Structure 1
Amino acid sequence: MLVSDNGSCFTSEEFGTFMKRNGIQHVLSDPYHPSSNGLAERAVQTFKEGMKKMKGETVETRVARFLFNYRITPYATTGLSPAQMLMSRKLRSPFDLLLPDVKTKILKKQQKQKEGHDKTCKLRSFEVGDSVYVRNYSGGPKWIPAVVKSCTGPLSYKTALGQGQTVKRHVDQMRTRTESERSCCRTTSPGRYAPFD
């Protein structure tokens, strides 16, 4: 259904034919009685007021900005904006900058989790040249002695094994080797490591 006033553009034969072909019921409001089509008159008034407030160099820019703001404004009856009803999502606008964004919320939650974790967890770090045990994943003893060669990341290190091999390990896969354990490893026969299971 289309409700319009009695303007010649709406009452012409060509327009009437277009309405019939497309199955649209055309209702004309009473002559000289604009309140018969109150929704259209209110829309015209809203548009005029909005255009006065819009900023922009050209009319096209001001119209585009008005339409964007109009389409993201929720209706009182539905509680949803036209854009949200059409696309099932909210469009971003400068007002979204006033609200806390999801990224900030996530970072705050992660920081809170880290603080809780750090209260009960001891931070482990190693220096280049430290004697350590590293987790063995290739058969044999579970832990094998090594020396830290370099730091490859905040929590990962490159270590040198006894046979000249180098392996990269996370700090969770490394243990500190004490002085007594170092001397024990030196007295063990070649190819065998002190038990650290």
Structure 2
Amino acid sequence: MDHGTDFAYVAAIPRRSHIAVIALLRRLITTHGKPSTVLTDNGEEFLSYPFQNYLQRLGIQHLHTSPYHPQTNGRLEKFNDMLVQTLARYTAPNRQDEWDQYLPDALLAQRAHVSRSHGASPFFLVFGRQPRLPHETTYDLLRAPPTDAEIATLQNRRLEHVQNVERFRTEANTRALRRLQDEARRREGTYHERALGIGDYVLRRSENPTKLHPRWDGPFIVHDVTDRNVYQLRTRNGYILRTLYNAARLKCYHPSNMDPELWYSSADLQRRDARARMQRRLDTSLGRAGTSRDA
């Protein structure tokens, strides 16, 4: 999605992969030109070497959202919700398995929808006119061929649209920016920034806990601060988590006595932490042996 106009592209793919992502981005670039920045989530297809290398070769800056914090890319999340609702109407009541066939129609409906924040539709902001929708009745085939005067009038009207489209885009972006600033001020009135430092112990909130699963696991240690309220964590044995976490998903942990049994993470993370513990013990043993030999 282009954040300047909210004009979006979508594609139905059998599974998420860097090949599909690069193909869609190449299609966008050949149509609209190269973007300066790409904002994605932390999916494996976006973290893969081929995708990172593709962006680097084109000189495109790559920004990431923090996991489980959709507000970072709220406009795309809102678009996804609206697209799903539109698809649900197209496929009701018994065509849900054919949703991909209705994807182009749902996408056109979203592109033609007038945004309250922009005051215009994404289609208009890109092309300078509203689209002619499939259900609209037209009598062009029954009309006589246009006269020279009618052609000149249409050409002048189109030229006026092209000349005014940049002004419309600027006005729309100004309205959207003002709306975002108002929302940010409202959030700041109720949000208390959580200041975490490197080395602090934290617990991590589970986003999809079952009834018998704890809502928090850990403790983890803040390994690095990558951005405002975005943190990288490591286990107590030194394994660094690849995923980044927003402060909204973390809380400080102040144990009087560190409980070595406090651990509710996934089995995979437990295995990785165990390997890190074994490696640390091995390094310590080798260090002691080297010290003894030196002595």
**TM-score (structure 2 length as normaliser):** 0.31
| Structure with a larger share of its residues in helix | 2
**TM-score (structure 1 length as normaliser):** 0.44
Question: Whose RCO is larger (CA < 8 A, sep 6+)?
Answer: 2
Structure having the higher Rg: 1
